[in-house]
């Protein structure tokens, strides 16, 4: 059955980040931090995995956040409030393990990864944890949910690549300072693969910093979300294979072979670019058609 879009808004000033609140009472009833959904916009659309960014059990809604990067996300961004998404499957994946830790937790969100950090921070805070949140983006236009996040964490640290807001630098810069000044029980990193890789290198005990358990969330390419297609397969450093959809999406970042995963993530870039180019040409052709006929 189709699922209605109840709210839609742009996030930040980039013009390509969107938040949508979806009417999904059955999913909202069961979802927890760390779960994801797979959507199909229409009957010819591809299946897209999106981590749940927030949920409201009483209202029967979930919130998703996405960045327009290809044909499917561009098409999704064109649907207005009261429009519908054809299919939504979920909640999928394993929820994160919520408990009270002895020492503070550091949660790091990079880019769109800021959004799925929110439910993890919220549930871990409700369990009585002290939480430091590091929010990173390439510039201030890609920052969002600052005040929403600030209300549930003990300290929010913002950094941007160009220094347009907060600390000038990357997320590992404030992480390094936190690890030097505080005893940390857990680090959670959600964002681009390259960001998560370098967070894990900083916390693996191979440098002068202490080793800290570090969990990362893998939003890899998926088709079925049940471990059958193999699209989300990744390798560990000791050669074992896991599937992000059913074994995760959250994993111990220190076991992941990030170099292998980064290479696998590139395998459809050419096809994705071609698909977006065809879609854009069709849109421009339709615009010209309507200009002539109206």
| Cα–Cα dist 174/113, whole Å | 17
**Comma-separated ranges of CATH 3.40.50.80 domains in the chain:** 105-217
The matching CATH number, chosen from 2.40.30.10, 3.40.50.300, 3.40.190.10, 2.60.40.1250, for 3-92 is 2.40.30.10
Q: Which residues of 8-23 are buried (b: 16+ CB within 10 A; e: fewer)?
A: beebbebebbbbbbbb
**Which pLDDT score, from 0 to 100, does residue 284 have?**
60
**Which pLDDT score, from 0 to 100, does residue 289 have?**
46
Tokens (6 digits) for 165: 């807001």
pTM of the predicted model as reported, rounded to 2 decimal places: 0.88
**Which pLDDT score, from 0 to 100, does residue 291 have?**
53
Distances (CA, A) of 235 to 34, 39, 124, 215, 242: 21, 26, 29, 16, 6
What number of residues does the chain have? 294
Name 195's Cβ contacts closer than 8 Å, sequence gap at least 6: 108, 110, 111, 113, 136, 170, 171, 189
| Cα–Cα dist 143/154, whole Å | 19
Architecture of domain 105-217 in this structure: 3-Layer(aba) Sandwich (3.40)
| Cα–Cα dist 243/249, whole Å | 8
| Cα–Cα dist 262/283, whole Å | 32
Ordered mean pLDDT values, 10 residues apiece, the chain (294 residues): 93 94 97 94 90 96 94 92 95 92 97 95 97 96 96 97 95 96 96 95 92 91 74 88 88 93 69 63 56 55
**Which pLDDT score, from 0 to 100, does residue 292 have?**
54
Tokens (6 digits) for 72: 């499917």
Q: Are β-strands 167-168 and 155-160 bridged in parallel, bridged antiparallel, or unpaired?
A: parallel
| Cα–Cα dist 79/64, whole Å | 14
**Comma-separated ranges of CATH 2.40.30.10 domains in the chain:** 3-92
Is it true that the peptide bond before 128 is cis, omega within 30 degrees of 0? no
């Amino acid at each position: 059955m189709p699922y209605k879009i109840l709210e839609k808004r742009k996030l930040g000033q980039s013009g390509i980040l969107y938040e949508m609140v979806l009417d999904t009472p059955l999913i909202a009833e069961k979802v927890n931090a760390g779960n994801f959904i797979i959507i199909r916009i229409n009957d010819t659309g591809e299946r897209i995995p999106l981590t749940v960014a927030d949920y409201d059990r009483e209202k029967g809604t979930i919130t998703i956040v996405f960045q327009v990067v290809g044909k499917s996300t561009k098409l999704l961004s064109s649907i207005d409030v009261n429009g519908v998404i054809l299919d939504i499957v979920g909640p999928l994946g394993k929820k994160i393990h919520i408990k009270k830790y002895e020492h503070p937790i550091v949660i790091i969100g990079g880019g769109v990864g800021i959004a799925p950090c929110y439910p993890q921070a919220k549930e871990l805070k409700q369990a009585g944890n002290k939480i430091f949140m590091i929010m990173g983006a390439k510039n201030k236009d890609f920052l969002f949910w600052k005040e929403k996040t600030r209300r549930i964490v003990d300290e929010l640290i913002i950094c941007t690549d160009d220094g347009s807001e907060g600390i000038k630098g990357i997320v590992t810069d404030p992480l390094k300072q936190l690890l030097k000044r505080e005893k940390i029980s857990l680090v959670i990193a959600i964002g681009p693969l390259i960001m998560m890789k370098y967070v894990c290198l900083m916390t693996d005990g191979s440098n002068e910093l202490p080793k800290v358990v570090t969990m990362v969330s893998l939003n890899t390419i998926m088709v079925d979300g049940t471990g059958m297609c193999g699209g989300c397969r990744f390798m560990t450093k000791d050669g074992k294979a896991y599937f992000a959809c059913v074994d995760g999406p959250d994993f111990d970042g220190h076991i992941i072979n990030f170099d292998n995963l980064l290479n696998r993530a590139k395998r459809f870039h050419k096809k994705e670019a071609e698909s977006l180019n065809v879609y854009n040409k069709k849109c421009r052709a339709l615009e010209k058609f309507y200009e002539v006929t109206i």
